[in-house]
Copies of this chain bind each other. A is one copy, B any other.
Amino acid sequence: VTPRTDATQEVAWLSDAQLAEWRSLVALIMTLPPALDAQLKRDAGLNSFEYHVLAALSEAPERWLLMSDLAALAQGSPSRLSHAVGRLEQAGWVVRRSCPGAGRRIEAHLTDEGLRKIEDESPGHVREARRLVVDALTPEQLAALGEAARIIVDAIEPRCTEHLPPPDR
C-alpha cells in the first residue's frame, strides 16, 4: 500500500528500515503465540492464558489471589479470567471463595492438584521457551528484546507494568 495524502490526519509513513523492522515484529506476534499455545495445548491440555493463571497463583502468598489482582498479573480482562477460572475450577486445579472487604471481592486459590499440575507442565514450557527464544538469542540480544518489550508494554498500558523491571530509557 502506498500512502495517501489525506488532509484529515497527516501520518508520516514508515521508512524502508522502519517498515522492515515493523514487519519482523508483526511476524513475531503472529507466529510466537501460536507456537507456544500449540506446545501447551499438546503437552498440557492448557492454553497460554490458563497456564499463566496457574503460574501466577503458584507464586502468590499461600497461593491465594484476588480475582482482580490475578487478572492484572495474567494480563487478561475480568471476563476472560472468569471464564478461564471456571474451566480450571472444573478441572479441580483452582477454587474460589468470597472474601470479606469492600466491593464484591473474590479470591482464587491454587489447589494441591493445581500446584502439581503447573509443576508438571512447566519444564516442557521452559524447554520450548529456551528452544524458540532464550537459547536462540545471545544474552545481549535477549536483553535488548526484553528492554524493547518493556517500553512497548509501557506505551500500551502505563500502569500495568509494576511487576516487570522498569524500562530504563
Contacts and interface: CB of A to CB of B under 8 A. Distances in A.
Interface of A: 1-4, 6, 9, 11-14, 17-18, 20-33, 35, 48, 52, 55, 58-59, 75-76, 118-120, 122-124, 126-127, 129-134, 136-139, 141-153, 155-157, 160-161, 164-165, 169
Contact of A133 (B22, B118, B129, B160): B22
User: Assembly of this chain: how many copies?
Assistant: 2
A118 B1 contact: yes
A144 B152 contact: no
A145 B21 contact: yes
A150 B145 CA distance: 11
Contact of A123 (B3, B33, B153, B169): B3
A157 to B, nearest CB: 6
B123 A9 contact: yes
Given A127-B11, A149-B24, A119 B31 contact: no
B129 A14 contact: yes
Contacts of A59: 1
Nearest to A2: B119
Contacts of A9: 123-124, 127
B31 A153 contact: yes
A127 B22 CA distance: 12
A142 to B, nearest CB: 5
In the A-B complex, list the 7 residue pairs whose CB atoms are closest, starting with the nearest: A21-B146, A144-B144, A28-B149, A145-B148, A24-B146, A24-B149, A11-B123
